[in-house]
């Protein structure tokens, strides 16, 4: 059975959601952030040297990095689901799978760290907000009239992209000027597998 090393209020929530979508049995091993530093506990380093969640164990191997885990699970257990079969959809899928962590998360993380520097971090916070707004406008335009990022069908790319959008919403940056993104996010949250993952993962609140 797949073991998910799940840190509270973290990106590993997406892994639980994907596993629910795939109907793959899994065991949740819970970890709590340090209440003062909000960092992951040192126990996670026993699983992987970097000690960051998410991580999963499957078939005697440890898999780390959100994008790599989502890609692995979709391709190993999806049986053709959650990965577009057509060339155009597959290309969009590949793009969003890399964009989510490579581009979209960068300004969000920058703001999280710079925001704890007080006045010294104010210029970085402003720059991060500017970049985040640009990213949101880009995704809004790319989504267009399609219900999902790769087209008419829900895919693992939607799962991976959900977290940076939820983080943007939690920080008040995903407003009415992004109606398509808001509708897309509501569509994701309405999925039964998303609700089941919240039940398995426990309380979920994005760090600001």
Tell me the residue range of the domain where 22 lies.
Answer: 2-81+193-201
65 and 99 fall within a common domain? no
Average pLDDT for residues 192-206, to the nearest whole number? 91
User: pLDDT tens for residues 76-126?
Assistant: 999 989 999 999 999 999 999 999 999 999 999 888 877 778 887 888 889
User: pLDDT tens for residues 41-59?
Assistant: 999 999 999 999 999 999 9
Residue with tokens 């209020």: 9
207, part of any domain: no
Question: What local confidence, expressed as pLDDT, does residue 120 receive?
Answer: 79
Question: What local confidence, expressed as pLDDT, does residue 1 receive?
Answer: 95
Residue 208 has pLDDT above 60, yes or no: no
Residue with tokens 């991060």: 128
Average pLDDT for residues 57-82, to the nearest whole number? 95
Neighbours of 109 (CB within 10 A): 14
50 and 101 fall within a common domain? no
Q: DSSP string of the chain?
A: -EEEEEETTSTTHHHHHHHHHHT--EEEEEE---TTT-PPPGGGGGTSTT--S-EEEETTEEEESHHHHHHHHHHHH-TT-SS--SHHHHHHHHHHHHHIIIIIHHHHHHHHHHGGGGGGGHHHHHHHHHHHHHHHHHHHHHHTT-SBTTBSS--HHHHHHHHHHHHHHHTT-S-TT-HHHHHHHHHHHTSHHHHHHHHHH-------
Total-model pTM? 0.94
111 and 185 fall within a common domain? yes
Question: What local confidence, expressed as pLDDT, does residue 203 receive?
Answer: 81
* Rounded CA separation 105/41 (Å): 22
151 and 186 fall within a common domain? yes
How does the average pLDDT of the chain come out, rounded?
93
Question: What local confidence, expressed as pLDDT, does residue 207 receive?
Answer: 63
What percentage of the chain reaches a pLDDT higher than 70?
Answer: 99
Residue 168 has pLDDT above 60, yes or no: yes
Question: What local confidence, expressed as pLDDT, does residue 176 receive?
Answer: 96
73 and 100 fall within a common domain? no
Question: Is the CB of residue 201 less than 8 Å from the CB of residue 13?
Answer: yes
């Amino acid at each position: 059975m797949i073991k998910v090393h799940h840190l509270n209020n973290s990106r590993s929530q997406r892994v639980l959601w994907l596993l629910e979508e795939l109907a793959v049995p899994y065991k949740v091993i819970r970890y709590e952030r340090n209440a003062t530093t909000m960092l992951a506990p040192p126990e996670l380093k026993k699983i992987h040297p970097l000690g960051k969640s998410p991580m999963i164990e499957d078939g005697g191997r440890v898999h780390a990095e959100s994008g790599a885990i989502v890609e692995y699970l979709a391709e190993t257990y999806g049986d053709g689901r959650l990965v577009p079969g057509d060339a155009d959809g597959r290309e969009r899928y590949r793009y969003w799978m890399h964009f989510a962590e490579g581009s979209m998360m960068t300004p969000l993380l920058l703001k999280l760290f710079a925001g704890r520097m007080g006045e010294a971090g104010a210029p970085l916070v402003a720059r991060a907000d500017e970049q985040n707004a640009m990213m949101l406008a880009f995704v809004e335009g790319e989504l267009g009239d399609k219900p999902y990022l790769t087209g008419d069908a829900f895919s693992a790319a939607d799962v991976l992209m959900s977290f940076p959008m939820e983080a943007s919403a939690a920080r008040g940056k995903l407003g009415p000027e992004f109606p398509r993104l808001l509708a897309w996010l509501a569509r994701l949250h309405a999925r039964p597998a998303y609700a089941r993952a919240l039940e398995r993962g426990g309380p979920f609140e994005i760090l600001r």
